[in-house]
């Protein structure tokens, strides 16, 4: 009996399948609750809005945490119905999965103050409530596609990030040696020169720090052009990954009348 109840709980908590109204209803309820939590977090930062109803956010937070906590406990309890998390070590394995950690961090900021931790630390911990927005990933097919693309292209992205770091280091070093004598305050050291390199490589160019020597201007021109190309590299990697993932998800069917392939994009 417990096994059948656990299986049903697992089905309800997972993304609802076609025809399962209870599971679909639960999905909609959780999505709405997450959305309301994000709105409440934003409005709470405005003291004028908060002063209108000082207790509303507190009570709403308590109710939300109770619901999210029950959801988390039930997910850990029923996860063994998934073949990937079979008994006896399946629950431990599930607890350390990404989405399980997201569920945990969604409620953790509420319980940490109960442990009597330093209040200065609590102000930072409260911002972890923003992690609730990541819970959308369980119900959004688009976010799941993004997650798969990042997993499949992680090696290429790591290489691209590595090259960006190398380019950032070289650019800031060159500008330091070219501009330090002319602008000792703006290019005081290589670490401080990295601010200019980041602003230039990202093509933001705030204009608060810029080269004034002929050599510095010449190098800055090449660095800015390289920055455009380097930031286009991860964009191309992700773009190709998205197209590949979208093509995988296309369903190919055979028309029963003409025998031709029907592509459902």
pLDDT in tens, 35-92: 888 787 777 776 676 565 667 778 888 898 898 899 889 988 888 888 888 877 888 8
Rounded Cα gap, residues 88 and 70, in angstroms = 22
Strands 251-254 and 261-264 come out as: antiparallel
**Fold entry, domain 2-139:** 1.20.120
Domain 154-264 class, CATH top level: mainly alpha
Confidence of residue 130 (pLDDT cuts 50, 70, 90): low
Please tell me the chain's helix, strand, coil percentages from 3-state DSSP, rounded to the nearest 5: 75, 5, 20
Confidence of residue 122 (pLDDT cuts 50, 70, 90): very low
Provide CATH 1.20.120.350 ranges for the chain.
2-139
Q: Is the pLDDT of residue 25 over 60?
A: yes
Rounded Cα gap, residues 34 and 59, in angstroms = 15
Helices (H), 79-189: 90-95, 98-111, 119-125, 141-152, 154-179
């Amino acid at each position: 009996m417990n096994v059948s109840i656990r299986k049903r709980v697992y089905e309800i908590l997972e993304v609802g399948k076609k025809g399962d109204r209870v599971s679909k209803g639960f999905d909609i309820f959780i999505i709405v609750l997450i959305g309301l939590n994000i709105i409440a977090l934003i409005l709470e930062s405005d003291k004028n809005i908060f002063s209108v109803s000082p207790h509303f956010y507190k009570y709403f937070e308590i109710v939300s945490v109770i619901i999210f906590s029950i959801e988390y406990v039930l997910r850990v309890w029923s996860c063994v119905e998934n073949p990937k998390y079979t008994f006896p070590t399946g629950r431990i394995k599930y607890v350390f999965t990404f989405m399980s950690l997201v569920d945990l961090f969604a409620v953790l900021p509420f319980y940490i103050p109960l442990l009597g931790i330093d209040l200065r630390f609590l102000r930072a911990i409260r911002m972890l409530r923003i992690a609730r927005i990541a819970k959308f990933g369980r119900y959004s097919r688009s976010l799941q596609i993004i997650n798969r693309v990042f997993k499949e292209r992680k090696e290429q992205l790591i290489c691209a990030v590595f090259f960006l770091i190398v380019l950032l280091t070289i650019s800031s070093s060159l500008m330091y040696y070219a501009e330090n004598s002319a602008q000792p305050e703006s290019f005081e050291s290589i670490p401080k020169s990295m601010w200019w390199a980041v602003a230039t490589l990202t093509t933001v160019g705030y204009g608060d720090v810029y080269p004034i020597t002929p050599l510095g201007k010449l190098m800055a021109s090449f660095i800015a052009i390289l920055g455009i190309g380097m930031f286009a590299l991860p964009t191309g990697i992700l773009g190709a990954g998205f197209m590949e993932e979208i093509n995988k998800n296309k369903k190919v069917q055979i028309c029963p009348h003409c025998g031709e392939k029907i592509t459902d994009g």
